[in-house]
Structure 1
C-alpha cells in the first residue's frame, strides 16, 4: 500500500510545474510528521533526483522540507502539550490520538528525562519514533525556542542526507526506500532490545 502511494505521488509530481512541486514537497514533509505511515523520506529522496535533473532547485527544496518538518514537529508538540496528559492516562475523549502507543510514549518520556533535548535533536534519525518524540516534548513542556532549534537542526541534516543520496543515485532513487526500510527495522529492533535490557536490569535489581 505504501509503495502504491509512493508510485502514485511520483506520477502526480512528475507532471506538475516546478512551483507546484515545491508545494507538494512542503505538504508531504509536514504531513509525514503528523501521520507517520506516509513515506515522506522516500519522496524527499525523489526530490534529490528531481534537483539533479534541474527540475527544481536543491537548496529551495531542502529549506522548504526542513521548515515543513519543523512545523509538523511543533504541531505534534502542541497536541502533546494540550492533550498529552489525557493520552498518557489512557482517558477517553481524544479519538484522533488513539493510534499512539501509550507505553511507547512513557518510554520516550523517560528518554527525554535522561537526555533532554538531545532526543529532539536526534528525532529525524529515529525512524518510527518521530511523532511520539514530538508528543513527549510537548507533554514535557520543553522550551519552545530550543525545541524548534533542535528540531530544525535534525530536519536539515536528515533531509540534506536524503536529497544528497537522491542526487547521487539519480534514477535509482527508489533503492533508498529499501535502505530506509532496513534502517528503520534496525532502529526499532535496537530500541526494542534496549527496552528489554532496561526492564531486565530493573527486575534484576529488585
Structure 2
C-alpha cells in the first residue's frame, strides 16, 4: 500500500490534478488500486494548497467515466452470444441463464449502474454487464457520472477535512466493503444452491444434458 501512496504522491507532484484522473482510471481497470486511498489523499493534497478542489474533482470524474467506458467496451466485445456459449460449457449454468440475467439488467440496469458506482469492488465490474447488455451509451454515461460524482466528492471531501488523518477513510470504507461483500457472498451462495437444485431436478427428470 505504501508503494501505491508513494506513486500517487509522485504522480500528483509531477502532473497535478490530471494525475488524480490517471490514478482513478487505473483504479477502474486494476481494482487493487483502491479509490479509498487515491481520493482522500488527493483531498489532503488540496487542503495543503498544492491542488485545487474543483480540478481534482473534475479530473477524478473524467478518470472514473473513462475507465467505466473501457470496461463497457470489454463487455460489448464479449457479447451475449459468447457468454451464452461459455454458460453452455460450464457446469450447472445454462445459456438461458444469460438471457434471464440480461432481461433483469434491461429492467434494472440504470439503477444498478448508479448504485454500483457506490460499492467498492463492484464499481468497476458493473460496467461489464452494461456492455454485455449494450445499454444506451448516453444513459450509461449519465448514471456512471452521477454515481461516480457522489463517491468521488465524498472521499475527496473527507480527505480534505481529515488532513493528516486522511488514511482513516480507508479503514471505514473497508468496514463498509466487508459488509457489502458478505451480503454478495450470501447472494452467490443462494444462486449456487438454486443451480445445484435445478441440476438435480433435471437429472431426476432424465435430462442429464442440461446439467452439463
Report TM bin, short chain. Answer: 0.7 to 0.9
* Residue 114 of structure 1, CA deviation: 4.8
Residue 123 (str. 1) matches residue 121 (str. 2): no
What's 1:179 paired with? 172
**Distance in 2 between the 1:43 and 1:150 partners?**
22
What's 1:40 paired with? 35
Change (3 A) 1:84 1:185: farther
Matched ranges for 1:65-84 at <5 A: 65-84=60-79
Change (3 A) 1:89 1:32: farther
5+ residue gaps in structure 2?
Answer: 88-97, 202-212
- Equivalent of residue 136 in structure 1, options 110, 119, 129: 129
What's 1:191 paired with? 184
Change (3 A) 1:90 1:201: closer
Indicate the RMSD between aligned Cα atoms, in angstroms.
Answer: 2.6
What's 1:99 paired with? none
**Distance in 2 between the 1:175 and 1:42 partners?**
10
TM-score (ref. length: structure 1): 0.79
**Distance in 1 between the 2:187 and 2:35 partners?**
27
* Residue 88 of structure 1, CA deviation: 6.3
* Residue 75 of structure 1, CA deviation: 0.6
**Distance in 2 between the 1:160 and 1:181 partners?**
18
Matched ranges for 1:1-206 at <5 A: 3-13=1-11, 16=13, 20-85=15-80, 86=82, 89-90=85-86, 112-197=105-190
**Distance in 1 between the 2:27 and 2:5 partners?**
16
* Residue 184 of structure 1, CA deviation: 1.3
Aligned length: 186
**Distance in 2 between the 1:77 and 1:200 partners?**
29
* Residue 175 of structure 1, CA deviation: 1.1
Change (3 A) 1:185 1:53: same
**Distance in 2 between the 1:37 and 1:25 partners?**
16
Change (3 A) 1:61 1:89: farther
Change (3 A) 1:152 1:88: farther
